[in-house]
Chain A
Amino acid sequence: SQKIEQNSEALNIQEGKTATLTCNYTNYSPAYLQWYRQDPGRGPVFLLLIRENEKEKRKERLKVTFDTTLKQSLFHITASQPADSATYLCALDNTGGFKTIFGAGTRLFVKA
């Protein structure tokens, strides 16, 4: 069956360190993968999109990698700040369809 797996355990890191979140998927062949941020009780906010032919993408302190062989994406936040504390969701398209399917998300806590 199709699965998108993100670490269900919360990630606790110290301010200034790099946070690395993982997204693994099975039985998908996505053309692209997205990362979103969600604060409690709020709607998800788009952060980055990476296509299947891209290995890495950066935006300010954010970096995403996409390995279609491993079926994995890594999401990095460098120089993390307490304001980065949120749930981070990965999402991918169901190739051939029109759905964007989300992982359950990983909660990140950045301690000052």
Chain B
Amino acid sequence: DSGVTQTPKHLITATGQRVTLRCSPRSGDLSVYWYQQSLDQGLQFLIQYYNGEERAKGNILERFSAQQFPDLHSELNLSSLELGDSALYFCASSFKALSNTGELFFGEGSRLTVL
């Protein structure tokens, strides 16, 4: 158990809908990262937060947004869903604070299926 909790584990929805994925980092970790992994694809970096602030952005679509709350949990919002958004969405947290100098602890992912 990595200590990172993601909910929901599975989600099935229709095109055009909006969903919210939630992540609770390990106790004491200030940084949260979101990744997308499509079938047979590698982990694509979406966005990173440190202590409530956005620190880095990857190839995140404009239809997607995220935030990190004062209690350090994070939410990834996906809107106007398309079939191609079906994927595993992973959250990871890191102990290291200001810079990206530590191992990442991953949750078990949220599997999103868009029909």
Partners in one complex: yes
A binding-site residues for B, Cβ under 8 Å: 31-32, 34, 36, 41-46, 49, 89, 91, 93-94, 97-105
Minimum CB–CB distance from B78 to chain A (whole Å) comes to: 19
Q: Do A103 and B108 touch (CB < 8 A)?
A: no
* CB-based closest 10 A-B pairs: A43-B106, A104-B42, A98-B56, A46-B103, A102-B43, A98-B55, A93-B100, A98-B100, A99-B56, A44-B106
- Asked if B58 is an interface residue, CB under 8 A from chain A, the answer is yes
Q: Which of A44, A93, A104 has the most CB of B within 10 A?
A: A44
Q: Do A49 and B103 touch (CB < 8 A)?
A: yes
Of B45, B88, B103, B106, which is within 8 A of A99 by CB?
B45
A32's nearest neighbour on chain B, judged by CB, is B101
Q: Do B43 and A89 touch (CB < 8 A)?
A: yes
Of B35, B43, B50, B88, which is within 8 A of A41 by CB?
B88
B45's nearest neighbour on chain A, judged by CB, is A99
What is the bound-complex CA distance between A101 and B44, given in angstroms? 8
Q: Do A31 and B42 touch (CB < 8 A)?
A: no
Give 17 new A-B contacts, CB below 8 A, not counting A42-B108, A94-B56, A94-B100.
A32-B101, A34-B104, A41-B109, A41-B111, A43-B2, A43-B92, A43-B108, A44-B43, A44-B92, A45-B106, A49-B103, A93-B101, A98-B48, A98-B100, A99-B56, A100-B45, A104-B41
